[in-house]
């Protein structure tokens, strides 16, 4: 199957804004290493997110909190080397931007300089306004992230749907409008009611990319190992698994072990 590739040689933050105005949906997936990013980019994805979900799916941590700035730079630089067409957005990890705006700018500059990423993503609204403004003033494109923000998981206590109550929904709309006014080029909305996400997307001129936020937004993002079925321990409603790689990879590895044990591998043609 070949993808519906948008008509852009190289995706930029401006291409994404144009896509929204032209009614073209934006495709985004995470990647954390060269080999996977090479496949994702070659398939025609618009945006690769080097998400701090690397903390879970690459490093095996329970939350996104432990991953460090150095580790994010390592993942991002591998992805950037593979991305010939996609826009590469890199998550600023927990602790690298919340304490003060100068530190936030230093972290964003390190990501841009040392990984070659094209933009950064930060979680939160007005509470991190000074950091966002400082990064934007330095000419670094910023993607916002509202709704379920996994870096605040210990404040929420659970990974359940956010902004179901009016008060939280109103704050989310205010934050989204604030992020647009501040100069963010796009926003991720994670795990919120579809009606609310649609309302936000209709009010903003910048693209709104959803994960667990319904189809009324301007694009979708999923975590790559989840959509490929490499992970299988959880099944949130929003997650469509396009493959069951966990089963296929396990089968292949079991077959290899059997072949080695039975001296079926390598055979005559597979040796020098």
Gap between the Cα atoms of 145 and 208, Å rounded: 10
CA dist., res. 224 & res. 75, Å (int): 14
**Stretch 52-91: interaction string toward ligand KIV, x if CB under 6 A:** xx-------------------------------------x
- Judged by CB, which is closer to ligand KIV: 104, or 147? 147
- Where helices occur in the chain by DSSP H, the ranges are 13-21, 34-43, 54-57, 69-82, 101-115, 129-137, 153-156, 166-182, 194-203, 224-227, 245-261
Nearer to ligand KIV, 208 or 223 (CB): 223
228 binds ligand KIV (CB under 6 A): no
- Closest CA relative to residue 47, chosen from 12, 7, 81, 18: 12
Q: CB under 6 A: which stretch of 18-26, 51-59, 179-187, 232-240 binds ligand KIV? A: 51-59
Residues 6+ apart with CB under 8 A from 243: 227, 228, 229
Task: Indicate the pairing of strand 26-30 with strand 208-211.
Answer: unpaired
Catalytic, out of 24, 123, 180, 190: 190
Least separation in angstroms between residue 265's CB and ligand KIV is 37
Among 30, 77, 131, 151, binds ligand KIV (CB under 6 A): 30
Instruction: Write b or e for each residue in 218-231: b if 16 or more Cβ atoms lie within 10 A of its Cβ, otherwise e.
Output: bbbbbbbbbbbbbb
Q: CB-wise, 87 or 188, nearer to ligand KIV?
A: 188
175 contributes a contact to ligand KIV by CB under 6 A:
no
Find out whether 37 and 79 touch, Cβ atoms under 8 Å.
yes
Closest CB 209 distance from ligand KIV, rounded Å: 8
Question: Is 233 marked active-site?
Answer: no
Contact characters 114-153, ligand KIV, x per CB under 6 A: ----------------------------------------
The catalytic residue positions are 190
Binding site for ligand KIV (CB under 6 A): 30, 49, 51-53, 91, 188, 190, 211, 221, 223
């Amino acid at each position: 199957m070949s993808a519906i590739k948008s008509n852009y040689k190289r995706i930029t933050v401006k291409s994404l804004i144009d896509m929204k105005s032209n009614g073209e949906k934006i495709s985004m997936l995470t990647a954390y290493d060269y080999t996977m990013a090479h496949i994702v980019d070659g398939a025609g994805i618009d945006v690769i997110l080097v998400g701090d979900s690397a903390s879970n799916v690459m490093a095996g941590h329970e939350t996104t909190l432990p991953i460090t700035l150095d580790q994010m730079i390592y993942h991002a630089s591998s992805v950037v080397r593979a991305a010939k067409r996609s826009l590469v957005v890199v998550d600023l990890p927990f602790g690298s931007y919340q304490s003060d705006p100068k530190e936030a700018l230093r972290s964003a500059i390190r990501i841009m300089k040392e990984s070659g990423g094209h933009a950064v993503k930060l979680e939160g609204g007005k509470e991190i306004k000074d950091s966002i403004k400082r990064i934007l003033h330095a000419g670094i494109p910023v993607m916002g992230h509202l709704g379920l923000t996994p870096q605040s998981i210990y404040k929420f206590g659970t990974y359940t749907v956010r902004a179901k109550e009016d008060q939280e929904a109103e704050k989310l709309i205010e934050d989204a409008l604030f992020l647009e006014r501040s100069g963010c080029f796009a926003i991720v909305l994670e795990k919120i009611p579809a009606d609310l996400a649609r309302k936000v997307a209709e009010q903003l001129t910048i693209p709104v990319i959803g994960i667990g936020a319904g189809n009324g937004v301007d694009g979708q993002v999923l975590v790559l190992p989840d959509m490929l079925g490499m992970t299988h321990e959880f099944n949130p409603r929003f997650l469509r698994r396009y493959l069951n790689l966990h089963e296929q990879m396990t089968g292949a590895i079991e077959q290899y072990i059997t072949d080695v044990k039975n001296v079926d591998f390598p055979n005559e043609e597979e040796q020098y």
